[in-house]
Amino acid sequence: MGNDRSGEAAVAFDRTLLNDYSMQNQDLAVEILNLFLVQLPVMLEALAAAATQTDWNFATHTLKGSAAAVGALRLQQLAAELEAMPFPGDANVRLLRLQAVRAAAGELRREAREAYPGPA
């Protein structure tokens, strides 16, 4: 898609992108966003718990694709960066990146609640 923002900080939540993906159907947009927000803690836990390269690849790729589908561009960007990291790599770097992902998830949740009152 045309949302590659390499080299610049992506926005936390692109409502226009979600609306485009949901064909301008607000009910569908809210449903998609709610499903993502409900699954987000599970995806974050999978990242934190990854014990093998396979676990890491699956967790980062899942987050990247799911974030892209809802317009969570900062999460998508961070997940892509994590996906490119070797596993296990530097544990301190990985921890800092995971903290950035959690912060971006919180920011997304806040912005989503403002855009669509009522999401999970």
Task: With respect to residue 6, please indicate whether it lies within any of the assigned structural domains.
Answer: no
Task: With respect to residue 5, please indicate whether it lies within any of the assigned structural domains.
Answer: no
Q: What is the CATH number of the domain that holds 105?
A: 1.20.120
For 104, the domain range is: 15-115
pTM: 0.84
What is the DSSP code (8-state) at residue 3? -
Is the model's pLDDT at 7 over the cut of 70? Answer: no
**What pLDDT score does 1 carry?**
42
State pLDDT tens for residues 42-94: 999 999 999 999 999 999 999 999 999 999 999 999 999 999 988 888 889 98
Task: With respect to residue 4, please indicate whether it lies within any of the assigned structural domains.
Answer: no
Task: With respect to residue 7, please indicate whether it lies within any of the assigned structural domains.
Answer: no
In whole angstroms, how far apart are CA 32 and each of 11, 41, 110? 19, 16, 16
Directed axis angle between helix 53-70 and helix 73-84, to 10°? 160
Task: With respect to residue 19, please indicate whether it lies within any of the assigned structural domains.
Answer: yes
Task: With respect to residue 1, please indicate whether it lies within any of the assigned structural domains.
Answer: no
DSSP for 70-105, written as a single string: HT-HHHHHHHHHHHHS-SS--HHHHHHHHHHHHHHH
Task: With respect to residue 59, please indicate whether it lies within any of the assigned structural domains.
Answer: yes
Provide the number of structural domains found in the chain: 1
Directed axis angle between helix 26-49 and helix 53-70, to 10°? 160
Distance CA 63, CA 42 (A): 10
- Per-residue H/E/C for 4-62: CCCCCCCCCCCHHHHHHHCCCCHHHHHHHHHHHHHHHHHHHHHHHHCCCHHHHHHHHHH
In whole angstroms, how far apart are CA 94 and each of 3, 4, 44, 85? 25, 22, 13, 8
Task: With respect to residue 67, please indicate whether it lies within any of the assigned structural domains.
Answer: yes
